[in-house]
Chain A
Amino acid sequence: MTTANPMIELKSVTHAYKTKAGPLPVLDALTLQIPENSFCAVVGPSGCGKSTLTRLVSGLMKPNEGEVWLHDQKVTSPRPTVGMAFQNPVLLEWRTILQNVMLPFEIVKSPMSKAEAHDRAMHLLDLVGLAGFEGKRPSELSGGMRQRASLCRSIIHKPDVLILDEPFGALDAFTREDLWCTMHDLREAEPFTCLLITHDLRESVFLADQVIVLSGRPAHAQYVLDVDITGKRTLDDLYTPKAAEMLATLRHQIQVAQGRATDADAPLDGHPTKAEGAA
């Protein structure tokens, strides 16, 4: 799935953290491309550098080697065309939900007028099912509702790129599935390029157009799965033989990444495209 102008492109990115015991390499010549308006999920064993990836793409950190490109521009610092949401919704407890959602407008110069910004916030809150809660404080909301508000905040300023670092990780299964559907609704309403970090293989298959499996630390792109579910997805799409096959393949690749299996133990014959360097 290579297009002429990928929205997000990592060119042979290598990164290591400085620790007392010497450098800890986390990413090793990681190369990947995410086309505009597509949804890319990244899975991999824990501690393999997934969160590092989000910090590099958002410009919060610079890689030791290699380059990160967003929209044909090299990333050197954070940019307002990016939205972010984390596992922790990090809502500001002293603000109302509406004030939290509007927070990016206080930092980012937006062409929208105050009234337009307000209307957009109310519209997004309505879209994620938080209509009527705009005046509440975060402490008055449940975990799932807080995460919904956090999602609204991350896309309020119409970013080109949305980076999600395990935003549904701490939620119960039903709320999580509910939010998956909300994500699809949001993208249907206004397309954006999305990079999702997750531990949940079902989540990756349900949400993403392509799933990238990172190898163990230091990570490179070990495997790329193109999710070929056409049309509007419903949760039922996760309970088809095709989905089961994709999940089995991903599971296997994770085990390979963990060093617990080799390619010879592959669960099914003829699984999809194998990554050769770039996707």
Chain B
Amino acid sequence: MNETARKILAPIVFIVGILALWEFAVWYNQLPDFRMASPSDLFPHYAEFADLFIVKSWETLWRTVVGLALAVVVGTLIGMLMGFSRFARDGLYPILVGFNAIPKATVVPIVALMFVGQHDFNTILIAFMISFFPIAVSVSIGLSTLEPEYRDILRSLGASNTTIFWKIALPKTLPEFFGALKVAVTLAFIGTNLMEIVSPHGRGLGDLFDSARISSDYPLMFAVLFAMAALGIVLFYIVVFLERIFAGWAERAPS
């Protein structure tokens, strides 16, 4: 089997296998759908609420992406500050760790009160807050662990610090950056859904889940979970795709 075929077929085989196993388990145990919906229960719901799924998915998607973009910009800036200045690193690190340790579910009501009615802004804010930490840390580590020889190679030719940053420090940090971005993209997605569920405001897949819960439509709840998983996979692989373009050089040929 060739490489490409395997990469496409393997996940399909596993997904179909797991769905079949699940279907069988529900059927075998005669579970009612409020305890455990089976995959075959889900499809009618996707068909029935297709337009709703599309609208809600889009709401979740764009707010996640904007929150993540904000996290990339702010996280990179903080990471650069900590990477270049030991003083800033020593000062900011404990604050960042503390901030990261606060469960964001507790921040949601605070943010919702702080900016009453600014639903999109609040959601983006939570997605951002939950996802910038790994980016800041990885960029700072990438910059501060740059081997001195790399700097010397350019400095000995009379290059400025700005040149060294653009030519060496930045590209050399890209693999770490994308490693963190893979974590951050999922976190941002969780942040968006957290806001949608904990502080319902009628938008996003979180809202669809909440509606299903209120109307006791259990198979629909499962269907939303699957839509979330699908969206999460799409976002993740977009990052993987970008990584391959910008940091593909860091990948070794399979041996």
Contact = CB atoms under 8 A, between A and B. Distances in A.
Interface string A74-117: 00011110101010101011100000000110111000000000
A77 B171 CA distance: 26
B156 A60 contact: yes
A35 interface: no
B156 A93 contact: no
A93 B175 CA distance: 11
A92 B150 CA distance: 8
Given A92-B171, A106-B167, A107-B163, A78 B156 contact: yes
A59 interface: yes
A79 B149 contact: no
Contacts of B172: 92-94
Nearest to A96: B249
A52 B166 CA distance: 27
Contacts of A140: 253
B155 A60 contact: yes
B131 to A, nearest CB: 26
Contact of B147 (A88, A108, A163): A88
B102 interface: no
Interface residues of B, number: 22
What is the interface of chain A mostly: helix, strand, loop, or mixed?
loop
A157 B153 CA distance: 13
Contact of A90 (B149, B159, B252, B253): B149
Contacts of A90: 147, 149-150, 153
**Chain A residues touching B, range:** 20 to 34
Interface in A154-187: 157, 163
A137 interface: yes
B149 A86 contact: yes
A181 to B, nearest CB: 25
B73 interface: no
Interface of B: 147, 149-150, 152-159, 163, 167-168, 171-172, 174, 247, 249-250, 252-253
Interface of A: 55, 58-60, 77-80, 82, 84, 86, 88, 90, 92-94, 103-104, 106-108, 137, 139-140, 157, 163
9 contacts: A55-B152, A60-B152, A82-B156, A86-B149, A90-B150, A92-B172, A94-B247, A94-B250, A107-B163
Given A80-B158, A86-B153, A108-B157, 13 more contacts: A55-B152, A58-B156, A78-B156, A84-B153, A88-B147, A92-B171, A92-B172, A93-B172, A93-B250, A94-B172, A106-B167, A107-B158, A157-B157
